[in-house]
Amino acid sequence: MKEALKFYINGAWVDPVKPKTLDVINPATEEPCGKISMGSSADVDKAVAAAKAAFPAWSTTTREERVAMFEKIIASYQKRYDEIAETISMEMGAPIWLSKAAQAATGLGHFTTNLEILKTYQFEETRGTTHIQKEPIGVCGFITPWNWPINQIVCKVAPALAAGCTIVLKPSEVAPLNAIILAEILDDAGLPKGVFNLVNGDGPDVGSPLSSHKDVDMVSFTGSTRAGILVAKAAADTVKRVAQELGGKSPNIVLEDADIEKAVASGVQSVMMNSGQSCNAPTRMFVPASKNDEAKKVATAAVAGVKAGDPMADGTTIGPVVSEVQYNKIQDLIQKGIDEGATLLAGGTGRPDGLNKGYYVRPTVFADVTPDMTISREEIFGPVLAILTYKTEEEAIDMANDTEYGLSSYVQSGDIEHARKVANKIRAGNVHLNGAGPDFNAPFGGYKQSGNGREWGEFGFEEFLEVKAVLGYQAA
In this predicted structure, the answer to whether residue 263 has a pLDDT above a threshold of 80 is yes
| 209 contacts 181 by C-beta, under 8 angstroms | no
Strands 139-143 and 31-37, how do they pair? unpaired
Q: In what order do the strands lie in the sheet with 124-127?
A: 124-127, 130-136, 465-470
Average pLDDT over residues 136-142: 98
Beta bridge partners of 236: none
Residues in CB range of 282: below 8 A, 6 or more apart: 250, 251, 252, 267, 270, 271, 408, 409, 410, 432
Are 2-246+450-470 and 251-440 the same fold in CATH? no
Which among 369, 296, 297 is positioned nearest to 333, based on CA atoms? 369
In this predicted structure, the answer to whether residue 226 has a pLDDT above a threshold of 90 is yes
What is the model's pLDDT at position 133? 98
| Separation in Å, CA 209 to CA 130, 329, 434 | 39, 28, 43
What is the model's pLDDT at position 56? 98
Q: How confident is the model at residue 233 (pLDDT cuts 50, 70, 90)?
A: very high
Q: How far apart are CA 375 and CA 290, in angstroms?
A: 23
What is the model's pLDDT at position 4? 97
What is the model's pLDDT at position 402? 97
What is the model's pLDDT at position 473? 94
Task: Express each pLDDT in 4-29 by its tens digit.
Answer: 999 999 999 999 999 999 999 999 99
Q: How confident is the model at residue 276 (pLDDT cuts 50, 70, 90)?
A: very high
Q: How far apart are CA 132 and CA 120, in angstroms?
A: 17
What is the model's pLDDT at position 151? 98
Q: How far apart are CA 226 and CA 449, in angstroms?
A: 10
Superfamily covering domain 2-246+450-470 = Aldehyde Dehydrogenase; Chain A, domain 1 (3.40.605.10)
Q: How far apart are CA 200 and CA 209, in angstroms?
A: 13
Catalytic residue numbers?
245, 279
What is the model's pLDDT at position 181? 98
- Dump the DSSP string for 345-391: EE--SSPPTT--SSS----EEEES--TTSHHHHS---SSEEEEEEES
| 24 contacts 32 by C-beta, under 8 angstroms | yes
Q: How far apart are CA 449 and CA 445, in angstroms?
A: 11
Q: How far apart are CA 31 and CA 437, in angstroms?
A: 35
Angle, helices 177-189 vs 149-163, to 10°: value is 30
Q: How far apart are CA 428 and CA 426, in angstroms?
A: 6
Continuous H helices in 305-358: 324-339
Average pLDDT over residues 409-418: 98
Q: In what order do the strands lie in the sheet with 384-390?
A: 343-346, 364-367, 384-390, 284-288, 251-254, 408-412, 430-433
Superfamily covering domain 251-440 = Aldehyde Dehydrogenase; Chain A, domain 2 (3.40.309.10)
Q: How confident is the model at residue 475 (pLDDT cuts 50, 70, 90)?
A: confident
Average pLDDT over residues 426-443: 97
Average pLDDT over residues 250-269: 98
Average pLDDT over residues 313-338: 98
Percent composition of the chain: helix, strand, coil (DSSP 3-state, to 5): 40, 20, 35
Residues in CB range of 439: below 8 A, 6 or more apart: 456, 457
Residues present in the chain in total: 476
Q: What is the CA radius of gyration of the chain?
A: 23
Average pLDDT over residues 330-346: 98
Q: How far apart are CA 308 and CA 355, in angstroms?
A: 9
Q: How confident is the model at residue 476 (pLDDT cuts 50, 70, 90)?
A: confident
What is the model's pLDDT at position 252? 98
> C-alpha 297: how far from its chain's center?
32
Q: How far apart are CA 430 and CA 428, in angstroms?
A: 6
Number of Cβ atoms within 10 Å of the Cβ of 303: 22
What is the model's pLDDT at position 1? 85
In this predicted structure, the answer to whether residue 449 has a pLDDT above a threshold of 90 is yes
| 146 contacts 92 by C-beta, under 8 angstroms | yes
- Dump the DSSP string for 407-432: SEEEEE-SSHHHHHHHHTT--SSEEE
Q: How confident is the model at residue 426 (pLDDT cuts 50, 70, 90)?
A: very high
Task: Express each pLDDT in 185-209 by its tens digit.
Answer: 999 999 999 999 999 999 999 999 9
What is the model's pLDDT at position 92? 98
Average pLDDT, the chain: 98
Domain boundaries, the chain: 2-246+450-470, 251-440
